Amino acid sequence: MHQLLKKHFGFDQFRPLQEEIIDNVLAGKDSLVLMPTGGGKSLCYQLPALKFPGLTLVVSPLISLMKDQVDALEANGIPTAFINSSLDYAQIQDVQARASKGKIKLLYIAPERLTMRNFQEFLCDVKVSLIAIDEAHCISEWGHDFRPDYRSLIILRKRFPQVPVMALTATATQKVREDIVEQLDLKKAGHFISSFNRANLNYHIRPKQNTFNNLLALLKKHKDQSTIIYCFSRKDTEELARELSYENFKALPYHAGLDPNVRQRNQEKFIHDKVPIIVATIAFGMGIDKPDVRLIVHYSLPKTIEGYYQETGRAGRDDLPADCVLFYSPGDQFKQTFFIDQIEDLDEQEKARKKLSQIVTFCESPKCRRQILLEYFGEKYEKKNCKSCDACLTPQEEFEATEITQKIISAIAKTNQRFGANYIIKVLRGSSLKKIRADGSHELSVFGIVNDFSEPELKFIIRQLISEKYLFQTPGKYAVLKLTKKALNFIEQKEKLTLSKPKSGFATSQAKGQQELEYDSTLFEKLRSLRKEIADKKKVPPFVIFGDRSLQEMAFYFPQTKDTFIRISGVGQEKLKKFSDAFLKEIRAFAQAKKIEEKPMRSQKPKSLTYNETKRLLLKKMSLAEIAKQRGMATGTIIDHLEKLIQAGEDINIDHLKPPAKRLNKIKQAFLQADGPQLKPIRDILGDDYSYDELKMARMFLN
């Protein structure tokens, strides 16, 4: 697997959980994979597909993505194809004929294809070795993107009962996960849940004030970098794209109402780096698999936290830093509420209302954005300050809130806990609203007792009191504020309370991506131009040739030969063959002119923060399991870090990790018998009682 990883994808090591998932798949077992966007989900079925004798069937709802995924795999020397409504009858017949002859390793299809009789007949003629279901949350009515077509996927399970099924998603709550397992009838599936934390993303919520000018400032900061802007309506996308064009920014709209040819053309211009900015509706799920999106802007409020997480997840899929900015105004929720009110199914309406309330709380909370996001998906964030969201970078100023909290609680109590936040605020501020007079609330002692806080400020305070569990807001269209036991104790015990003030000013991004290199920006731009030129000739997106990370390494190490060029991340055998001559020519010419020598590669000490953190914990004599738990990583990933640190010459005493002498000696004999360092033959000799992790550790000590 490691050899195939380098040969086809150009990577030296797996990302967290990938190796364990692949082992599970190769053992013929079902898998449920939860991994954030950009975490490397696709590789978990693409790599085993090369090892299996038959076809890997990949179900994806994103037709617009399929061609890009196929192009990328073909560029890596992996025979791949897709079947969807964009192909005519003759083209579909050609793909099916090649698949039947075993000339295709992966076949991408849309879920609705499974209900077609001729496709079901085709499936009888092929050997299917693996079924991968991408965006698996679409099968669940509890998810944010339910698609009825996904319910037909049970056909695959019934037709191929012995074939392992892998369900993959980036966003799924516990309830959605359970639903996926049930709907797909996953048998004793391995559950692989990666951290939802996207450490390379900066999360910022900004008030909707002077929004267009603030957007222009953001776009200038990210000049010529790929950007997606989400708007509320189709009309908004077209108007904003037009306004940005007037300001000399290349921007195009993208929404479901556009002519399909125009929509496809706009997307291709964005994917192929001909237009850096795409303006899209939140409601329309864009099929974007572009790894180098550096900025995501929500010009309007997303409908759900899952939607927000998935949309921001389209940034920085190459693991390099990216910004996610949401412009928020409390008024945005009323637009969403209008559409929620139109939902006829009351249960569905209630679910939508609850999800909207969660995203509003997320926007208004003074807490760390990353912490709230991770807690939503059931993951605890241990750090007190993420240093990469507006809440942590510019903490809100606190104020003495005891008196105003007492007044709010008193108003709720005196109106018998029968009203929502807007009504309570009107009472406190002495509104002359007819309903207040009709209810007699104007005669209460709390009527008009607040004049030092505006309505928006009072709403902000009430939101915090709900978040801090002093108040409870009932679900439903007519939400009512109730007092909790904590609120009653607060009054009885005469407790003191400080809360946050609404924030002013913007934070500065500080998130770190993968190991950051001080590469030569001039050479990087030259290589970028070369990449675009080659991509245009081949009619594929530039990232299919090489990702930004690869170009950055080239502009840092200045490789001069094919032997060193292949050591660049993302360069496999196929890309070495196809593209090394052109890129080496450019690098050599630049290095010669500037009198720059090639830098040593892979032998220098890892600069990545992630390696240093692992080293710090190793020096504390912590066990591998303890380090893995603290870092939210797989044990195998920690062992990979350890191997890299030792190869780089780091002075670390790891005697406390040495396997027991008896087992170490047995492993040593197996290595001698196998006559080589590869782990699979060793495990075949020793059996399942010895894990790959233990064998890796033993190999380090034996070396």
Per-residue confidence (pLDDT) for residue 155, from 0 to 100: 84
Q: Which residue has the higher pLDDT, 606 or 602?
A: 602
Structure confidence at residue 6 (pLDDT): 85
The DSSP bridge pattern shows strands 165-169 and 31-34 to be parallel
CA atoms within 13 A on the CB side of 321: 13
For the chain, the straight-line distance linking the first and the last C-alpha, in angstroms and rounded, comes to 21
Q: What is the mean pLDDT of the chain?
A: 86
The answer on pLDDT for 512 being more than 60 is no
676 has pLDDT over 80: no
pLDDT band at 671; cut points 50, 70, 90: confident
Cα–Cα–Cα angle for 302, 303, 306, rounded to 5 degrees: 85
pLDDT of 606 above 50:
no
- At the topology level, CATH places domain 2-193 in Rossmann fold (3.40.50)
- Of 627 and 645, the one with more pLDDT: 627
Average pLDDT over residues 188-207: 88
Q: Answer yes or no: CATH 3.40.50.720 is held by domain 201-391.
A: no
pTM given for the model = 0.69
Tell me which range, 173-177, 569-573, 607-611, 673-677, is most confidently predicted by mean pLDDT: 569-573
- What torsion, rounded to 10 degrees, do the Cα atoms 684, 688, 690, 696 define? 60
pLDDT classification of 607: cutoffs 50, 70, 90: very low
Q: For the segment 423-455, what is each residue's pLDDT rounded down to a tens digit?
A: 999 999 998 888 898 888 989 999 999 988 888
Domain-by-domain residue ranges, the chain?
2-193, 201-391, 398-500, 521-594, 609-702
Q: Which CATH class is domain 398-500?
A: mainly alpha
Please state which of the ranges 31-45, 469-483, 644-658 shows the lowest mean pLDDT.
644-658
Which of the four pLDDT bands, split at 50, 70 and 90, describes residue 628? confident
When comparing pLDDT for 682 and 171, which is higher? 682
**Superfamily per CATH, domain 521-594:** HRDC domain (1.10.150.80)
**Integer CA distances (angstroms), 168 to 22, 238, 502, in order:** 13, 33, 39
What is the DSSP code string of 363-429?
Answer: HH--S-HHHHHHHHTT-----S--SSBHHHHSPPPEEE-HHHHHHHHHHHHHTTT---HHHHHHHHT
pLDDT band at 505 (very low <50, low <70, confident <90, very high): very low
pLDDT at 645: 77
The three-class DSSP label of residue 664 is helix
**Model confidence at 108: pLDDT above 90:** yes
Q: What is the dihedral of CA 293, 299, 304, 306, to 10 degrees?
A: 10
pLDDT of residue 283: 52
Q: Which of 146-160, 346-360, 482-496 tops mean pLDDT?
A: 482-496
pLDDT of 325 > 90? The answer is yes
The 3-state DSSP class for residue 521 equals: helix
As a CATH number, domain 609-702 is 1.10.10.1390
2-193 and 201-391 share one CATH topology? yes
Distances (CA, A) of 619 to 16, 245, 622, 655: 22, 55, 8, 11
**Greatest mean pLDDT range, 316-325, 620-629, 637-646:** 316-325
Contact between residue 698 and residue 641 where contact means Cβ atoms under 8 Å apart: no
DSSP 8: I
In this predicted structure, what is the pLDDT of residue 286? 54
pLDDT at residue 603 is higher than 50: no
Instruction: Dihedral sign for Cα 341, 345, 351, 355, please.
Output: negative
Whether pLDDT at 647 is above 70: no
CB-CB contact of 316 with 38 (8 Å): yes
Q: Between the CA of residue 494 and those of 184, 398, 409, 490, what are the distances in Å?
A: 55, 19, 13, 6
Residue 491 CB burial class (10 angstroms; 0-12, 13-18, ≥19):
middle
> Do 251 and 278 meet the contact criterion of CB atoms below 8 Å apart?
yes
Q: What does the pLDDT look like over 418-428, one tens digit per residue?
A: 999 989 999 99
Q: How far is CA 134 from CA 46, 96, 312, 385, in A?
A: 12, 21, 18, 33
